[in-house]
Amino acid sequence: MRLAFGVDIGGTNTRLALVDESGNILELKSFRTDPESHEAVLERLAREILELKGSVCGSIVGVGVGCAGVIRFESGTLLFSPNLPGWKNVAISERLRDLVGFCVFVDNDANMFTLAEAKLGAGRGKKHIIGLTLGTGVGGGIFVDGKLIRGSWGGGAELGHIIIDPEGPGCNCGARGCIEAYVGAYAIERRARELFLSNARAVPKNLTPEYIGKLANEADRVACEIIASTAYYLAIGVASIINIFNPEMVVIGGGISNLGPLLFDPLRRLALKKALPHLAESVTIEKSVLGPTAGVLGAAFTCFAS
């Protein structure tokens, strides 16, 4: 049985899993990430990998590492990550390979998510899938003909930065009116604050998407309006994505996807109405089924696919 290590480096925690080719997680570990310095994190990761390696039978094909940010895929270099301000131009692949002796592949976390959902999750068995991760930022993954499409050096598939209104609100990337500037967690909170104030309501302290979802489930009018506008803007982006890629499925994960039918019902209705009719007929819009383990699974499957 072939095995691979899958690593998901988040802004708060780093997860490490040992995964077999059927997608079973044999071991799962987690430790704190230092967002300011990579060396201690990579050394800890190497120690954990070497320790696990000693206890398994089966051939280990490599280590896949996912993290948010801009990555040169071939060299496995993280150029920039919004979650890891101290990690700039880090040659993760080279450093980790020196420490553990395996091939190391490094890719964007949204690509890892999309690959995992395509191989093991909502899109299992399908060959044309678009993945979107809705968190603080909005990530994208393009899986076409059974393979991820990353662009010329790996920086592509930034679907969250499709501009849907050049006069729109500011995005974390510096542009205006990106999908992320409407449906990233920070953008939803910004819009929510404005809506509460314009409705002469006190702004709740804990204005997270989860809390807004809770209010909406209690039929709070402002909360319902916030989610309706989130679905509306997301649908504009998803309709364009459907028209460009003609996917079989758009799979959506990340914290905001936990709004469930509150988000997905209007999203499906609006996106499929806005997309070209023939393309809309042949696509479904689904919620991620793998949840938080998608990152490590996709990272491990990057090794099996390479």
Task: Please say whether the beta carbons of 290 and 17 come within 8 A.
Answer: no
User: At residue 31, what is the residue type?
Assistant: F
Residue 178, interface with Zn ion (CB under 5 A)?
Answer: yes
Q: Is 138 helix (H, G, I), strand (E, B) or coil?
A: strand
Piece of the chain touching Zn ion by CB under 5 A; list 51-59, 114-122, 168-176, 296-304:
168-176
CB of 23 to Zn ion, least distance (A): 32
Centre a 10 Å sphere on the Cβ of residue 207 and count the other Cβ atoms it contains: 17
Size of the site for Zn ion (CB under 5 A): 5
Whichever of 178 and 251 has its CB closer to Zn ion, that residue is 178
Give me the least distance between CB of 171 and Zn ion, in Å please: 3
Paired with 285 in beta bridges are 250
- Tell the burial category of 13 from Cβ atoms under 10 Å away from its Cβ (0-12, 13-18, 19+): exposed
Nearer to Zn ion, 173 or 289 (CB): 173
Answer positive or negative: Cα dihedral of 81, 84, 89, 90.
negative
CB of residue 178 vs Zn ion: minimum separation in angstroms?
A: 3
**Residues 5-24 close enough to bind Zn ion by CB under 5 A:** none
Cα 254 from Cα 98, distance rounded (Å): 33
Output the six-digit token pair for 100.
Answer: 């553990």
Residues 106-165 that bind Zn ion (CB under 5 A): 161
At closest approach, how far in Å is the CB of 251 from Zn ion?
Answer: 21
Contact pick of 56, 91, 164, 173 for Zn ion (by CB under 5 A): 173
Query: Is there a contact between 157 and 112 (Cβ–Cβ < 8 Å)?
Result: no
In the bound state with Zn ion, the residue whose beta carbon lies nearer, of 93 and 133, is 133
DSSP 202: P
- Min separation Cβ 140 and Zn ion, Å: 11
The answer to whether 84 touches 65, Cβ cutoff 8 Å, is no
- Indicate which single residue of 4, 142, 157, 171 sits in contact with Zn ion (rule: CB under 5 A): 171
Residue placing its CB nearer to Zn ion in the complex, 92 or 188: 188
Smallest separation (angstroms) from Zn ion to the CB of 158: 8
Which residues of the chain form contacts with Zn ion (CB under 5 A)? Answer: 161, 171, 173, 175, 178
